[in-house]
Structure 1
């Protein structure tokens, strides 16, 4: 059974270390061959908007845009539907490949056989 990792990022620039850690874990899991799904919720939703991941600048950390690009290339990135609505974001506002989905999809991914969910 293939293992999957669901990473839920709940913070934005208010908690740069936590935000970068979630992106680092997701990108590292992709490099290790895991199936990865990154969920951006709350203020983390802004990272899905072009140019916004570049605003996360953390000394000695891998650049957030590179980490996000790695996850987008090898996995799946989703913005929470309620979070997107509260910020008036549509798929047209987001990086190519980023989806907007709801809680039912998060629960389905998190409860799938072999899945591990982490929340940052």
Structure 2
């Protein structure tokens, strides 16, 4: 059975510690060889756009752009369809490698064998 971790992050700059924790856990899991799928929802949706992660600051935390880059390189990053629409984010607006998908895809990911899911 393969190991897969699905993380749904709802927090952004509005709750920086929760946001940073989600990205940190996801990046550490990827570095440990775990298959990771990070879902950007709510205020974290903005991090699907170029230049947004560099504006995020949290003392004593790993830089968000580096965490996001590692996830885009070795994991999967998905932007919630409805969250994107509410913010006027179109598929061509996102960072390369970010897909836009909805609840059906999220449910299929979390219901697969060997999957652990976390929500931040």
TM-score, L = length of structure 2: 0.98
Q: Which runs of 5+ in 2 are unaligned?
A: none
Other-structure match for 2:56: 56
Other-structure match for 1:119: 119
- Number of residue-to-residue matches in the alignment: 120
TM-score, L = length of structure 1: 0.98
Q: CA deviation at 1:90?
A: 1.0
Other-structure match for 1:110: 110
Distance 2:107 2:87 in 1: 22
Q: Deviations over 1:69-108 (max 9, x none)?
A: 0011001000000000001101111000000000000000
Distance 1:56 1:48 in 2: 13
Distance 1:52 1:40 in 2: 13
SS in 1 for 2:38: strand
Q: Which runs of 5+ in 1 are unaligned?
A: none
